[in-house]
Structure 1
Amino acid sequence: FSTRQATTKDLPLLPSIFNHYIIHSVISFRLEPINVDFFETVYASTTARGLPFVVVTTPTTGGEQNVIGYAYASPYRPGYDAYRHTVEISVYVDHRYHSVSAGTALMDALMGALRTARVPEPTRFPSKLEEAPRDVADDSVVNSERTGRVRQVLAIMSLDAEGRDGGHGLEKFYARWGFEKVGSLRSVGFKFGRWIDVSMLQVSL
């Protein structure tokens, strides 16, 4: 497998990968299939913020590269600028390529890119921060070289009780990149006639 930054030419290939999970699993809480417009919006928003959107490919008989998965990081709670150093990741592999290291290749590429990604600063800091006492607005924090970098990465995943290890298999997968479970949301999703829990995983860069 090889990985690279996604381009707009890749986007029409992604709905079929995602729609499989929408239709056949609780991995996504979406109930209706999406089209390429969804990925065009996500791609534009992600890349405009300097965040990675990567694909994993495999060679075809014609020598071209076949896209078999994608991953991207999006702002956590966009519009709330105090969260600007935190992102949430999405990772999907064509269901026909499970357990062949395609997901590992995607995660390696995504996490590597996040370590050097820059996040946009707000137009100005709140006046309360500017007026805060030294122990609150410490220059070593506010003005450090890491201020403009991604610091926290979240993976928010549904728990499929009928899946591998009762839905906890993905937690073990993410743990390979240092993710730890930091919380749970109980019965927040309803799909296929059953209530579904969500796990929140986090790693600091």
Structure 2
Amino acid sequence: MKNSLTTSAHLQTPTPGVSDLASPPIAGLQIRDATAEDMIAVQAIYAPHVLHSSATFEETPPSVQEMQLRRERVLAQGLPYLVALINKEIVGYSYASSYRARIAYRFTLEDSIYLADGHAGKGLGKALLAALLARCDQGPWRQMIAVIAGTNNLQSIGLHRSLGFKHVGTQPSTGFKFNQWIDVVFMQRALGPGDTTLPDLQGS
């Protein structure tokens, strides 16, 4: 549900504290923290996915103002919100968010990645996810969940596998969009030391 990518890769089991984050170089690529002004371009990237894709289960595109509020909520939790630029044009974005609101989930995150039309299959999604993981590996969080709409979304599934996620379950017919039922695939990867140590509960 949170990924606009739609090639499969061999399964890789995540190793706590170890990340294979290398991506092929993309000419002119820059990945940086998103600004409030970037949300105009981010909204323009996201809206077509809402209208024409099952990658998100939203059906009405949010406004630029709503996208700015969502970014602010991400940043308020100390989480990264990133944009990718090629030759100074924003062509994709990624961010981490809380997996669930209940307090016991506080060390678990969910990733979201969306690319502008015409930029899938070039390694951009992997670069964005790798950058997101590198940031989250340095924080207090211990697990990241990918929530992917459709068992046929092989590009997103393959992308996550290539960076250490493993399939942990599928919920059949959980979503309904475009007059069809949509399965939801769950993949998971350890962050930092994962579950090999207990978290620091001071201030958490």
Equivalent residues in 2 for 1:58-97, closer than 5 Å = 58-59=86-87, 65-78=88-101, 80-97=102-119
Task: Tell whether the 8 Å contact from 2:79 to 2:97 is kept in structure 1 after alignment.
Answer: yes
TM-score normalised by the chain length of structure 1: 0.76
CA distance in 1, matches of 2:53, 2:183: 14
Equivalent residues in 2 for 1:63-142, closer than 5 Å = 65-78=88-101, 80-117=102-139
Task: Tell whether the 8 Å contact from 2:168 to 2:188 is kept in structure 1 after alignment.
Answer: yes
Task: State percent identity of aligned pairs.
Answer: 32
CA distance in 1, matches of 2:83, 2:46: 13
Task: Tell whether the 8 Å contact from 2:125 to 2:159 is kept in structure 1 after alignment.
Answer: no
Who is 1:21 aligned against? 49
CA distance in 2, matches of 1:89, 1:33: 19
CA distance in 2, matches of 1:20, 1:66: 17
1:38 Cα deviation (Å)?
Answer: 2.2
Which structure ranks higher in relative contact order (CA pairs < 8 Å, sequence separation ≥ 6)? 2
Who is 2:196 aligned against? none
CA distance in 1, matches of 2:158, 2:35: 30
TM-score normalised by the chain length of structure 2: 0.77
Corresponding residue to 2:156 among 158, 170, 173: 170
Task: Tell whether the 8 Å contact from 1:52 to 1:73 is kept in structure 2 after alignment.
Answer: yes
Segments ≥4 residues shifted beyond 6 Å: none
Task: Tell whether the 8 Å contact from 2:85 to 2:92 is kept in structure 1 after alignment.
Answer: yes
Helix, strand or coil: the match of 2:66?
helix
Who is 1:185 aligned against? 171
1:97 Cα deviation (Å)?
Answer: 1.0
Helix, strand or coil: the match of 2:56?
coil
The gaps in structure 2 that reach 5 residues or longer are 1-28, 192-204
CA distance in 2, matches of 1:38, 1:89: 19
Task: Tell whether the 8 Å contact from 1:72 to 1:91 is kept in structure 2 after alignment.
Answer: yes
Who is 2:84 aligned against? 56
Helix, strand or coil: the match of 1:9?
coil
- Alignment-mate amino acid for residue 69 of structure 1: G
Larger-gyration structure (1/2): 1
CA RMSD, Structure 1 to Structure 2 (Å): 1.2
1:169 Cα deviation (Å)?
Answer: 2.9
CA distance in 1, matches of 2:153, 2:31: 27
CA distance in 1, matches of 2:115, 2:153: 17
Task: Kindly indicate which of the two structures has a greater share of residues assigned to helix.
Answer: 1
The gaps in structure 1 that reach 5 residues or longer are 60-64, 118-148, 161-165
Pairs aligned (count) = 163
